[in-house]
Each structure stands twice: as C-alpha cells, then as structure tokens.
Amino acid sequence: MSATPLAALARTTDPRTTLRRFLAADAAVTGANGLAYLLAAGPLGRLLGVGPGLLAALGAFLTAYAAGVALLAARGRPPVRCVHAVVEANLAWALLSLVALALWLTPSTAGAVWTVLQALTVAGFAAAQYTALRASGD
C-alpha cells in the first residue's frame, strides 16, 4: 500500500495528518463497536452466537482501547512508539480473532462473517497506520 492512495483516502497530502486521521478513524470504529458490545451484549450475542458476558468484556476493553487511540490521534505528532504499539495491537487482534474463530468460538453464520470482517478491517487500519507512519518520516 503506497502513501499516494492513503493520502487520497485521508484527503490530505500531509503524512502526519494522514496518520492522525487513520488513528481517529480506528478510534471511532473501535469505540462504536465497543459501545455496541457493552450496551447490547444480549441481542448482539444472540445474533452473533456469542455469549453476552464475552461481548460485554470485549466491549469494555474495546471502549478503553478506543479512548487511548483517540488520545493518540489528538496529538499533533503522535509518538512513534505509541503508533507502533497500536499497529501491533491491531495486528494481534486481527490474528487472534481468526484463531479464536478457528479453535474456540462456535458463532452463528452471522457471527463468523462478522468476525472475519472485523479482523480484516482491523488489519486494514494497521496497514494504513503503518504506511502513514513510514510516510511521515518519523
């Protein structure tokens, strides 16, 4: 993934702004997901075929994680080590989601599709953030 398509997607040519926008988008999507898991664990659990306790715990974690990523996105120059930590956490989440699907979870069809889609989305955020970080020269 090159910096040029990322700049177009982020609607800016400034690499640091691109990075901050991808961090902010990650925080928004993750926060919305986390809040949905927290506030609707029962109905979502039935739809996805996942226990409501697990969804509520994931929701609490994701909401806190999203708040941290949002704080990072709000900085004029996000620290490189922190951005690397977000990229690595996103990659780990994507990988663990797929491993859990294969080895542990027995979700409904909707849950299996959701797990794969969110893993791909999170991996996409990791790729975009890493590419933007490299383009920023930090």
For 66-108, what is each residue's pLDDT tens digit? 999 999 999 999 999 999 999 999 999 999 999 999 999 999 9
For 117-131, what is each residue's pLDDT tens digit? 999 999 999 999 999
User: Model-level pTM greater than 0.85?
Assistant: yes
| pLDDT class of 13 with cuts at 50, 70, 90 | confident
**Residue tagged 């994931």 (tokens):** 58
Pick from 127, 129, 137: which is nearest to 1 by CA?
A: 127
For 21-56, what is each residue's pLDDT tens digit? 999 999 999 999 999 999 999 999 999 999 999 999
> In angstroms, what is the C-alpha Rg of the chain?
16
C-alpha distances in Å from residue 46, one per residue of 51, 53, 95, 110, 118: 8, 12, 24, 10, 18
